[in-house]
Amino acid sequence: MKGRILSGMRPTGALHIGHLSVIQNWVALQNDYECYFSIVDLHALTTGYEDRLDYPSLRREIALDWLSVGIDPQKSTIFVQSQVKEHSELHLLLSMFTPLSWLERVPTYKDQIQQLAKQGKDLGTYGFLGYPLLMAADILLYKASVVPVGEDQLPHVELCREVARRFNYLYGTVFPEPKDLIGEVPLLPGVDGRKMSKSYHNAISLTASAEEVKTRVQQMVTDPARLRKDDLGHPDVCIVFKFHKIYTPEVAEIEVNCRAGKVGCVACKRQLAENLEKLISPFRERRAYWGEPGRVEKVLEEGAERARVTASETMKEVRCVMGL
Ligand code: TRP
């Protein structure tokens, strides 16, 4: 094993294939690292405190998404953040010595407050200011050496390192400084060309049926200048082609044939739908297995138990060096 990994995702609703590369990166890492993957429901509450969401079903959905893509509970520990109370305890203890200015200067902080104020949401809360500190607690509790995240999370991992350094300086060395690991995330548009998002109704869900996959591909916008099959095509403006670039090994051939007017949009879409179906059908099978009553619940119970063992060892050290 090359070290320990912790990463997390907020349970905010069904995932789509735009999220796939992140989970597939985790799947690849679980063979080489000791992995902890957390469903961070407390983080979801920091922004969604008024939403009265049904967290038990949101957590079940995201766990099923992870399992269906291939996160393996034999290899990795999958757990719910709020079920391991040590996260809250470490967050509180870290807050004792974290300067307010460190949190206020996190680049996304003021931005997001303004963004969400437009939607009538007040994020001038203590919890939202502490969002990155809660994330630091997630990481440090497991003494993770590597944190796979998206680019947008880099300032948070940086803050985590600073908090670890300050803790070690004040109380003695307990925490390693974690490294970030940026996975490659191909940019995938929605079927209408805008960003893929559930709220735009342009996403291909990880739970899509074969029929839905076909329908979604049929909805994709192609080169508007191409009215007949033998018109010369412009793949660079075609949504179908953007998907082929990610999912079709013979993409070079498709590009040549499209430009030469040798393949029509109908056939081109059919090929993409077949490839997407090949991608998604194994997810469907694994989802059916894990979806049987009680299976996900058992994974999350056992995951929380395993997480608690590591987390409580760290907390013993932390309490001791802080003089509690
Ligand atoms: N903030 C992360 C996000 O929104 C989620 C997260 C919470 C996380 N705790 C974490 C990611 C710890 C990595 C490690 O994507």
Q: What is the pTM of this model?
A: 0.94
How much is the average pLDDT of 261-280?
Answer: 95
Which pLDDT band holds residue 186 (cuts at 50, 70, 90)?
A: confident
| Residue 209 and residue 287 in contact, taking contact as beta carbons nearer than 8 Å | no
Residues 6+ apart with CB under 8 A from 232: 226, 259, 260, 261
The overall longest dimension of the chain from CA atoms, in Å, is 78
Minimum-distance ligand 1 atom for the alpha carbon of 40: 7
Q: Which of 6, 40, 80 to mutate to test the pocket of ligand 1 (most atoms within 8 A of CB)?
A: 40
* Whole-angstrom distance, CA of residue 213 vs CA of residue 12: 22
Q: Which CA distances in Å does 211 have to 125, 218, 246?
A: 44, 11, 21
Q: Looking at the DSSP assignment, which residues form a beta bridge with residue 77?
A: 36
Give the number of other Cβ atoms within 10 Å of residue 192's Cβ: 14
Model pLDDT, residue 185: 82
3-class SS at 10? Answer: coil
Q: Looking at the DSSP assignment, which residues form a beta bridge with residue 8?
A: 38
How much is the average pLDDT of 165-185?
Answer: 95
* Whole-angstrom distance, CA of residue 94 vs CA of residue 106: 16
| Residue 26 and residue 62 in contact, taking contact as beta carbons nearer than 8 Å | no
Q: Which tokens go with 31?
A: 């063979």
Q: Is 315 in the pocket of ligand 1 (CB under 6 A)?
A: no
Strand-strand pairing, 34-39 and 179-182: unpaired
Residues 6+ apart with CB under 8 A from 251: 241, 244, 245
Model pLDDT, residue 315: 98
Strand-strand pairing, 34-39 and 4-9: parallel
| Residue 11 and residue 62 in contact, taking contact as beta carbons nearer than 8 Å | yes
Q: Which tokens go with 178?
A: 């974690």
Q: Which tokens go with 67?
A: 């399992």
At residue 19, does pLDDT exceed 90?
Answer: yes
Q: Order of strands across the sheet with 77-80?
A: 77-80, 34-39, 4-9, 146-149, 179-182
* Whole-angstrom distance, CA of residue 273 vs CA of residue 226: 20
Minimum-distance ligand 1 atom for the alpha carbon of 144: 14
In the DSSP assignment, the letter for residue 195 is B
Q: Is 5 in the pocket of ligand 1 (CB under 6 A)?
A: no
Q: What percent of the chain has pLDDT over 90?
A: 88
Angle made by CA atoms 201, 254, 266, in degrees to the nearest 5: 55
Closest-CA residue to 109 (of 94, 97, 91, 125): 125
Q: Which structural domains are found in the chain, ordered by start?
A: 3-188+293-322 (3.40.50.620), 208-286 (1.10.240.10)
Q: Which of 135, 139, 157 to mutate to test the pocket of ligand 1 (most atoms within 8 A of CB)?
A: 135
Q: What percent of the chain has pLDDT over 70?
A: 100
Helix (H) or strand (E) holding 134: helix 131-141
C-alpha of residue 260 to centroid of ligand 1, in Å: 46
Closest-CA residue to 109 (of 123, 94, 92): 123
Q: Which of 109, 153, 163, 181 to mutate to test the pocket of ligand 1 (most atoms within 8 A of CB)?
A: 153
Ranges 8-22, 39-53, 108-122, 136-150: which has the least confidence: 108-122
Q: Is 43 in the pocket of ligand 1 (CB under 6 A)?
A: yes
Q: Is 139 in the pocket of ligand 1 (CB under 6 A)?
A: yes
Model pLDDT, residue 267: 94
Instruction: Tell me the pLDDT of the chain averaged across its residues.
Output: 95
